[in-house]
Chains A and B, each alone.
Chain A
Amino acid sequence: MEINKEKLDEIILKYGRDKAHLLAIFQDVQKEYRYLPKEAVRHICMRLGMPQVDGFEVATFYKSFSLKPRGKHTVHVCLGTACHLKGGADVLLSFMRELKVKTGETTADGAFTLESVNCLGACALAPLVRVDEKDFGKTTVAQSRNIIRDFTDHH
Protein backbone atom coordinates (compact mmCIF):
# COMPACT_ATOMS: atom_id res chain seq x y z
CA MET A 1 0.00 0.00 0.00
CA GLU A 2 1.41 3.32 -1.13
CA ILE A 3 0.68 5.99 1.44
CA ASN A 4 0.86 9.73 1.13
CA LYS A 5 3.26 10.70 3.92
CA GLU A 6 2.81 14.43 3.38
CA LYS A 7 -0.91 14.10 3.90
CA LEU A 8 -0.25 12.07 7.06
CA ASP A 9 2.16 14.68 8.38
CA GLU A 10 -0.43 17.34 7.74
CA ILE A 11 -2.92 15.47 9.93
CA ILE A 12 -0.30 14.79 12.60
CA LEU A 13 0.65 18.47 12.71
CA LYS A 14 -3.00 19.50 12.92
CA TYR A 15 -3.04 17.73 16.26
CA GLY A 16 0.23 19.23 17.37
CA ARG A 17 2.18 15.96 17.11
CA ASP A 18 0.57 15.06 20.41
CA LYS A 19 0.31 11.41 21.43
CA ALA A 20 -2.89 12.16 23.31
CA HIS A 21 -4.57 12.77 19.97
CA LEU A 22 -3.67 9.38 18.56
CA LEU A 23 -7.34 8.38 18.28
CA ALA A 24 -8.23 11.58 16.44
CA ILE A 25 -5.26 11.15 14.08
CA PHE A 26 -6.32 7.58 13.35
CA GLN A 27 -9.91 8.73 12.77
CA ASP A 28 -8.82 11.33 10.25
CA VAL A 29 -6.48 8.93 8.49
CA GLN A 30 -9.17 6.30 8.35
CA LYS A 31 -11.50 8.81 6.74
CA GLU A 32 -8.86 9.31 4.08
CA TYR A 33 -8.30 5.62 3.24
CA ARG A 34 -11.53 4.10 4.62
CA TYR A 35 -9.22 1.96 6.77
CA LEU A 36 -5.94 2.28 8.64
CA PRO A 37 -3.11 1.09 6.43
CA LYS A 38 -0.38 -0.59 8.43
CA GLU A 39 2.20 1.70 6.80
CA ALA A 40 0.26 4.73 7.99
CA VAL A 41 0.19 3.43 11.59
CA ARG A 42 3.96 2.83 11.39
CA HIS A 43 4.58 6.34 10.07
CA ILE A 44 2.37 7.96 12.70
CA CYS A 45 4.12 6.06 15.52
CA MET A 46 7.49 7.14 14.17
CA ARG A 47 6.43 10.79 14.03
CA LEU A 48 4.91 10.70 17.51
CA GLY A 49 7.97 8.95 18.89
CA MET A 50 6.08 5.97 20.19
CA PRO A 51 6.65 2.23 19.81
CA GLN A 52 4.74 0.56 16.98
CA VAL A 53 3.15 -1.87 19.41
CA ASP A 54 1.36 1.00 21.11
CA GLY A 55 -0.13 2.15 17.82
CA PHE A 56 -1.06 -1.42 16.97
CA GLU A 57 -2.72 -1.85 20.36
CA VAL A 58 -4.91 1.25 19.89
CA ALA A 59 -5.73 0.38 16.27
CA THR A 60 -6.99 -3.06 17.31
CA PHE A 61 -8.68 -2.10 20.60
CA TYR A 62 -11.29 0.29 19.26
CA LYS A 63 -14.10 -0.94 17.11
CA SER A 64 -14.10 2.05 14.80
CA PHE A 65 -10.64 1.28 13.43
CA SER A 66 -9.90 -1.34 10.83
CA LEU A 67 -6.50 -2.49 9.64
CA LYS A 68 -8.18 -4.32 6.80
CA PRO A 69 -9.35 -2.46 3.67
CA ARG A 70 -13.05 -1.73 3.78
CA GLY A 71 -15.71 -1.53 1.15
CA LYS A 72 -16.84 1.62 -0.55
CA HIS A 73 -19.89 1.65 1.71
CA THR A 74 -20.18 0.40 5.26
CA VAL A 75 -23.47 -1.04 6.44
CA HIS A 76 -23.84 -0.82 10.22
CA VAL A 77 -26.69 -2.87 11.60
CA CYS A 78 -27.50 -1.76 15.12
CA LEU A 79 -27.76 -4.48 17.74
CA GLY A 80 -28.53 -2.23 20.69
CA THR A 81 -31.10 -3.54 23.14
CA ALA A 82 -34.12 -1.91 21.54
CA CYS A 83 -32.99 -3.03 18.09
CA HIS A 84 -32.35 -6.56 19.35
CA LEU A 85 -35.83 -6.79 20.84
CA LYS A 86 -37.38 -5.56 17.64
CA GLY A 87 -35.60 -8.01 15.39
CA GLY A 88 -32.24 -6.35 14.68
CA ALA A 89 -30.53 -9.75 14.54
CA ASP A 90 -32.89 -10.88 11.77
CA VAL A 91 -32.15 -7.68 9.87
CA LEU A 92 -28.43 -8.40 10.21
CA LEU A 93 -28.98 -11.94 8.94
CA SER A 94 -30.85 -10.59 5.94
CA PHE A 95 -27.93 -8.32 5.06
CA MET A 96 -25.60 -11.31 5.41
CA ARG A 97 -27.79 -13.22 2.98
CA GLU A 98 -28.07 -10.35 0.51
CA LEU A 99 -24.41 -9.39 0.55
CA LYS A 100 -23.13 -12.94 0.96
CA VAL A 101 -20.66 -11.94 3.69
CA LYS A 102 -20.39 -12.37 7.43
CA THR A 103 -20.22 -9.48 9.89
CA GLY A 104 -16.89 -7.69 9.61
CA GLU A 105 -16.34 -8.84 6.05
CA THR A 106 -16.29 -6.99 2.73
CA THR A 107 -18.03 -8.09 -0.44
CA ALA A 108 -15.84 -9.52 -3.18
CA ASP A 109 -16.42 -6.48 -5.41
CA GLY A 110 -15.33 -4.17 -2.60
CA ALA A 111 -18.65 -2.35 -2.58
CA PHE A 112 -19.88 -3.09 0.94
CA THR A 113 -18.49 -3.90 4.36
CA LEU A 114 -21.01 -5.30 6.81
CA GLU A 115 -20.68 -4.42 10.49
CA SER A 116 -22.80 -4.82 13.56
CA VAL A 117 -22.75 -2.02 16.12
CA ASN A 118 -23.83 -1.94 19.74
CA CYS A 119 -26.28 0.96 19.78
CA LEU A 120 -26.31 4.05 17.63
CA GLY A 121 -28.59 5.90 20.05
CA ALA A 122 -31.68 6.12 17.84
CA CYS A 123 -33.53 3.50 19.85
CA ALA A 124 -36.99 4.93 19.28
CA LEU A 125 -36.54 4.07 15.61
CA ALA A 126 -35.39 0.48 16.17
CA PRO A 127 -34.23 -1.53 14.34
CA LEU A 128 -31.76 0.95 12.90
CA VAL A 129 -29.37 0.54 9.98
CA ARG A 130 -26.70 3.10 9.13
CA VAL A 131 -25.11 3.06 5.70
CA ASP A 132 -22.13 5.43 5.63
CA GLU A 133 -23.70 8.56 7.13
CA LYS A 134 -27.33 7.84 6.35
CA ASP A 135 -29.65 6.26 8.91
CA PHE A 136 -32.62 4.04 8.16
CA GLY A 137 -35.17 3.63 10.94
CA LYS A 138 -37.69 0.85 11.63
CA THR A 139 -36.06 -1.41 9.11
CA THR A 140 -37.39 -4.83 8.23
CA VAL A 141 -35.89 -7.99 6.85
CA ALA A 142 -37.59 -7.29 3.54
CA GLN A 143 -36.03 -3.82 3.28
CA SER A 144 -32.40 -4.85 3.27
CA ARG A 145 -32.42 -5.51 -0.47
CA ASN A 146 -33.77 -2.02 -1.21
CA ILE A 147 -31.26 -0.35 1.03
CA ILE A 148 -28.41 -2.12 -0.72
CA ARG A 149 -29.86 -1.23 -4.11
CA ASP A 150 -30.00 2.46 -3.11
CA PHE A 151 -26.27 2.47 -2.63
CA THR A 152 -25.36 0.14 -5.49
CA ASP A 153 -26.79 2.50 -8.09
CA HIS A 154 -24.56 5.36 -7.04
CA HIS A 155 -21.15 3.89 -7.57
Chain B
Amino acid sequence: MVQLSINGKKVTAEEGEALLKVARREGFVIPTLCYHELLGSSGRCRLCVVEVNDAGKKRVVASCLYPAKENIEVFTDSDEVRLVRRTVLELLLARNPSAELIQHLAKQHGVTEVRYTPDQDKGKCILCNLCVRCCKDIVGVSALGMSGKGPMKKVGPPFDEPSETCIGCGACVVICPTGHIAMEEEKGVRTVWQKKFELAACPKCKRYHLPLFQLEWISKTRNIPVEELMVCEDCR
Protein backbone atom coordinates (compact mmCIF):
# COMPACT_ATOMS: atom_id res chain seq x y z
CA MET B 1 0.00 0.00 0.00
CA VAL B 2 1.13 3.53 -0.73
CA GLN B 3 0.17 6.95 0.60
CA LEU B 4 -0.58 9.80 -1.75
CA SER B 5 -2.71 12.90 -1.83
CA ILE B 6 -5.54 13.90 -4.12
CA ASN B 7 -6.46 17.59 -4.10
CA GLY B 8 -4.76 17.79 -0.70
CA LYS B 9 -6.59 14.84 0.82
CA LYS B 10 -4.39 12.01 2.10
CA VAL B 11 -5.43 8.66 0.67
CA THR B 12 -4.12 5.09 0.55
CA ALA B 13 -3.96 2.89 -2.50
CA GLU B 14 -2.42 -0.31 -3.77
CA GLU B 15 0.87 0.36 -5.42
CA GLY B 16 0.37 0.48 -9.19
CA GLU B 17 -3.40 0.86 -8.98
CA ALA B 18 -4.74 3.33 -11.59
CA LEU B 19 -5.21 6.83 -10.15
CA LEU B 20 -8.70 6.99 -11.68
CA LYS B 21 -9.86 4.06 -9.57
CA VAL B 22 -8.32 5.50 -6.43
CA ALA B 23 -9.82 8.94 -7.02
CA ARG B 24 -13.30 7.63 -7.77
CA ARG B 25 -13.21 5.41 -4.69
CA GLU B 26 -12.38 8.50 -2.63
CA GLY B 27 -15.31 10.37 -4.13
CA PHE B 28 -13.52 12.61 -6.63
CA VAL B 29 -15.26 13.20 -9.91
CA ILE B 30 -13.18 12.55 -13.04
CA PRO B 31 -14.95 12.40 -16.39
CA THR B 32 -14.14 9.56 -18.81
CA LEU B 33 -15.25 8.38 -22.22
CA CYS B 34 -13.03 5.49 -23.28
CA TYR B 35 -12.66 3.89 -19.84
CA HIS B 36 -14.94 1.03 -18.83
CA GLU B 37 -14.87 -1.00 -15.64
CA LEU B 38 -15.13 -4.27 -17.49
CA LEU B 39 -12.76 -3.40 -20.31
CA GLY B 40 -10.17 -1.32 -18.52
CA SER B 41 -8.17 1.62 -19.79
CA SER B 42 -6.79 2.56 -23.15
CA GLY B 43 -5.85 6.21 -22.73
CA ARG B 44 -7.52 7.39 -25.93
CA CYS B 45 -9.92 10.13 -24.93
CA ARG B 46 -7.61 12.04 -22.52
CA LEU B 47 -10.65 13.36 -20.64
CA CYS B 48 -9.52 11.70 -17.43
CA VAL B 49 -6.28 13.69 -17.24
CA VAL B 50 -5.02 14.85 -13.86
CA GLU B 51 -1.90 16.68 -12.81
CA VAL B 52 0.70 14.74 -10.86
CA ASN B 53 3.52 16.18 -8.82
CA ASP B 54 6.11 13.45 -8.34
CA ALA B 55 8.97 14.78 -6.21
CA GLY B 56 8.80 18.21 -7.79
CA LYS B 57 8.30 16.91 -11.32
CA LYS B 58 4.90 18.06 -12.52
CA ARG B 59 3.09 16.54 -15.46
CA VAL B 60 -0.37 16.02 -16.82
CA VAL B 61 -1.19 12.31 -17.10
CA ALA B 62 -4.08 10.01 -18.01
CA SER B 63 -5.44 8.92 -14.63
CA CYS B 64 -6.91 5.72 -16.08
CA LEU B 65 -3.36 4.45 -16.64
CA TYR B 66 -1.07 6.29 -14.26
CA PRO B 67 -0.02 4.00 -11.43
CA ALA B 68 -0.40 5.09 -7.80
CA LYS B 69 2.99 5.76 -6.22
CA GLU B 70 4.18 6.69 -2.76
CA ASN B 71 3.98 10.38 -1.91
CA ILE B 72 2.73 11.78 -5.18
CA GLU B 73 0.34 14.73 -5.18
CA VAL B 74 -2.58 14.50 -7.56
CA PHE B 75 -4.72 17.43 -8.70
CA THR B 76 -7.93 16.67 -10.51
CA ASP B 77 -8.91 20.22 -11.36
CA SER B 78 -5.82 22.35 -12.06
CA ASP B 79 -5.71 24.98 -14.82
CA GLU B 80 -3.71 22.62 -17.05
CA VAL B 81 -6.18 19.79 -16.48
CA ARG B 82 -9.13 22.04 -17.24
CA LEU B 83 -7.52 23.28 -20.46
CA VAL B 84 -6.90 19.75 -21.72
CA ARG B 85 -10.43 18.62 -20.85
CA ARG B 86 -12.06 21.66 -22.42
CA THR B 87 -9.94 21.26 -25.55
CA VAL B 88 -10.83 17.57 -25.84
CA LEU B 89 -14.52 18.37 -25.51
CA GLU B 90 -14.45 21.24 -27.99
CA LEU B 91 -12.59 19.05 -30.48
CA LEU B 92 -15.04 16.20 -29.99
CA LEU B 93 -18.03 18.49 -30.28
CA ALA B 94 -16.65 19.67 -33.61
CA ARG B 95 -16.19 16.07 -34.68
CA ASN B 96 -19.53 14.77 -33.41
CA PRO B 97 -21.92 17.74 -33.24
CA SER B 98 -24.95 15.48 -32.90
CA ALA B 99 -23.67 13.39 -29.99
CA GLU B 100 -25.85 14.27 -26.99
CA LEU B 101 -23.35 12.91 -24.47
CA ILE B 102 -20.63 15.18 -25.81
CA GLN B 103 -22.97 18.17 -25.86
CA HIS B 104 -23.83 17.47 -22.23
CA LEU B 105 -20.22 17.03 -21.09
CA ALA B 106 -19.11 20.11 -23.00
CA LYS B 107 -21.74 22.21 -21.31
CA GLN B 108 -20.77 20.79 -17.92
CA HIS B 109 -17.14 21.82 -18.51
CA GLY B 110 -17.93 25.29 -19.72
CA VAL B 111 -17.35 24.79 -23.42
CA THR B 112 -19.84 27.24 -24.87
CA GLU B 113 -18.43 27.82 -28.32
CA VAL B 114 -16.98 25.57 -31.02
CA ARG B 115 -14.40 27.45 -33.05
CA TYR B 116 -14.16 24.84 -35.81
CA THR B 117 -16.28 23.83 -38.75
CA PRO B 118 -18.25 20.83 -37.50
CA ASP B 119 -17.74 17.47 -39.26
CA GLN B 120 -20.73 15.99 -41.03
CA ASP B 121 -19.37 12.53 -41.77
CA LYS B 122 -18.34 11.03 -38.44
CA GLY B 123 -21.76 10.44 -36.92
CA LYS B 124 -21.50 10.08 -33.17
CA CYS B 125 -18.36 7.92 -33.17
CA ILE B 126 -15.65 9.34 -30.92
CA LEU B 127 -13.25 6.41 -31.53
CA CYS B 128 -13.22 5.36 -27.88
CA ASN B 129 -12.64 1.80 -29.06
CA LEU B 130 -15.03 0.32 -26.45
CA CYS B 131 -17.07 -1.59 -29.07
CA VAL B 132 -13.88 -3.10 -30.50
CA ARG B 133 -12.59 -4.19 -27.10
CA CYS B 134 -16.00 -5.51 -26.07
CA CYS B 135 -16.35 -7.57 -29.24
CA LYS B 136 -12.90 -9.03 -28.73
CA ASP B 137 -12.59 -9.42 -24.97
CA ILE B 138 -16.17 -10.05 -23.85
CA VAL B 139 -17.98 -11.54 -26.84
CA GLY B 140 -14.82 -13.11 -28.19
CA VAL B 141 -15.52 -12.87 -31.92
CA SER B 142 -13.38 -9.85 -32.98
CA ALA B 143 -15.83 -8.76 -35.64
CA LEU B 144 -14.99 -5.09 -35.20
CA GLY B 145 -11.73 -3.24 -35.46
CA MET B 146 -10.04 0.03 -36.18
CA SER B 147 -8.81 0.91 -39.63
CA GLY B 148 -6.92 3.77 -41.18
CA LYS B 149 -4.73 6.29 -39.45
CA GLY B 150 -4.98 9.79 -38.05
CA PRO B 151 -8.09 11.75 -38.97
CA MET B 152 -9.12 8.92 -41.32
CA LYS B 153 -9.28 6.37 -38.54
CA LYS B 154 -12.60 4.63 -38.13
CA VAL B 155 -14.34 1.67 -36.57
CA GLY B 156 -16.06 -1.11 -38.45
CA PRO B 157 -16.03 -4.73 -39.60
CA PRO B 158 -13.10 -5.94 -41.73
CA PHE B 159 -12.99 -4.40 -45.23
CA ASP B 160 -16.14 -2.47 -44.32
CA GLU B 161 -18.13 -5.49 -45.36
CA PRO B 162 -20.49 -7.65 -43.27
CA SER B 163 -18.24 -9.61 -40.94
CA GLU B 164 -18.06 -13.37 -41.13
CA THR B 165 -17.65 -13.64 -37.37
CA CYS B 166 -20.28 -11.15 -36.16
CA ILE B 167 -23.02 -13.04 -34.29
CA GLY B 168 -25.37 -10.07 -34.16
CA CYS B 169 -25.39 -9.99 -30.35
CA GLY B 170 -25.56 -6.19 -30.21
CA ALA B 171 -23.09 -5.89 -27.33
CA CYS B 172 -21.33 -3.12 -29.26
CA VAL B 173 -24.58 -1.18 -29.43
CA VAL B 174 -25.04 -1.45 -25.68
CA ILE B 175 -21.50 -0.46 -24.78
CA CYS B 176 -21.23 2.51 -27.19
CA PRO B 177 -21.30 5.62 -24.97
CA THR B 178 -22.68 7.96 -27.63
CA GLY B 179 -25.25 5.80 -29.40
CA HIS B 180 -23.37 5.78 -32.68
CA ILE B 181 -23.97 2.16 -33.63
CA ALA B 182 -27.30 1.49 -35.30
CA MET B 183 -29.18 -1.77 -34.85
CA GLU B 184 -32.58 -2.29 -36.40
CA GLU B 185 -35.13 -5.07 -36.10
CA GLU B 186 -37.88 -5.50 -38.61
CA LYS B 187 -40.09 -8.51 -39.34
CA GLY B 188 -37.88 -10.96 -37.51
CA VAL B 189 -34.65 -9.67 -39.05
CA ARG B 190 -31.94 -7.81 -37.14
CA THR B 191 -29.51 -5.57 -39.03
CA VAL B 192 -26.26 -4.42 -37.47
CA TRP B 193 -23.03 -3.33 -39.21
CA GLN B 194 -24.65 -4.08 -42.59
CA LYS B 195 -25.18 -7.72 -41.68
CA LYS B 196 -28.66 -9.23 -41.51
CA PHE B 197 -29.62 -11.86 -38.92
CA GLU B 198 -32.72 -13.98 -38.81
CA LEU B 199 -34.17 -13.81 -35.30
CA ALA B 200 -35.29 -16.87 -33.41
CA ALA B 201 -38.95 -16.97 -32.42
CA CYS B 202 -39.55 -18.35 -28.94
CA PRO B 203 -41.58 -21.57 -29.25
CA LYS B 204 -43.57 -20.62 -26.10
CA CYS B 205 -44.40 -16.92 -26.41
CA LYS B 206 -43.76 -16.72 -30.20
CA ARG B 207 -41.86 -13.49 -29.76
CA TYR B 208 -38.60 -12.81 -31.65
CA HIS B 209 -35.64 -12.58 -29.30
CA LEU B 210 -32.05 -13.41 -30.30
CA PRO B 211 -30.44 -14.03 -33.71
CA LEU B 212 -30.38 -17.72 -34.68
CA PHE B 213 -26.71 -17.32 -35.57
CA GLN B 214 -25.95 -16.16 -32.05
CA LEU B 215 -27.86 -19.09 -30.52
CA GLU B 216 -25.96 -21.55 -32.67
CA TRP B 217 -22.71 -19.91 -31.64
CA ILE B 218 -23.61 -20.09 -27.93
CA SER B 219 -24.68 -23.67 -28.38
CA LYS B 220 -21.34 -24.52 -29.96
CA THR B 221 -19.10 -22.65 -27.54
CA ARG B 222 -20.95 -23.54 -24.32
CA ASN B 223 -22.20 -26.93 -25.39
CA ILE B 224 -25.91 -26.26 -24.78
CA PRO B 225 -28.50 -27.75 -27.16
CA VAL B 226 -29.94 -25.14 -29.55
CA GLU B 227 -33.50 -26.21 -28.71
CA GLU B 228 -32.96 -25.10 -25.14
CA LEU B 229 -31.68 -21.71 -26.27
CA MET B 230 -34.62 -21.18 -28.63
CA VAL B 231 -36.79 -20.50 -25.62
CA CYS B 232 -36.52 -16.85 -24.70
CA GLU B 233 -35.23 -15.78 -21.30
CA ASP B 234 -38.65 -14.68 -20.09
CA CYS B 235 -40.16 -18.11 -20.78
CA ARG B 236 -37.21 -20.17 -19.50
List chain A positions with a Cβ less than 8 A from chain B.
38, 41, 51-57, 60-61, 67
Q: Does B145 lie within 8 Å of A53, measured CB to CB? A: yes
Interface centre among A41, A51, A53, A67, by most chain B C-beta atoms within 10 angstroms, is A53
Sample 26 A-B pairs with CB under 8 A, ordered by A number.
Answer: A38-B159, A41-B159, A51-B136, A51-B142, A51-B158, A52-B142, A52-B158, A52-B163, A52-B164, A53-B132, A53-B142, A53-B143, A53-B144, A53-B145, A53-B157, A53-B163, A55-B158, A56-B145, A56-B158, A57-B145, A57-B146, A57-B147, A60-B147, A61-B148, A61-B149, A67-B159
Complex contacts, A57 vs chain B, CB 8 Å:
145-147
Give the A-B contact count at a CB cut-off of 8 A.
Answer: 39
> In the bound complex, what is the Cα–Cα distance between A106 and B145 (angstroms)?
28
- Write out, one digit per residue, whether chain B residues 145-189 have a CB within 8 A of any chain A CB (1) or not (0): 111110000000111000111000000000000000000000000
Interface residues on B, range: 10 to 19
In this complex, what residue of B is CB-closest to A56? Answer: B158
Complex contacts, A51 vs chain B, CB 8 Å:
136, 142-143, 145, 158, 165
Rounded to whole Å, the gap between the CB of B72 and the closest CB of chain A is 35
Complex contacts, A53 vs chain B, CB 8 Å:
132, 142-145, 157-158, 163
Complex contacts, A55 vs chain B, CB 8 Å:
158
Instruction: A55-B158, A57-B146 given; name 14 further pairs at CB < 8 Å.
Output: A38-B159, A41-B159, A51-B136, A51-B158, A52-B164, A53-B132, A53-B144, A53-B157, A53-B163, A56-B147, A60-B149, A61-B147, A61-B149, A67-B159
In this complex, what residue of A is CB-closest to B135? Answer: A53
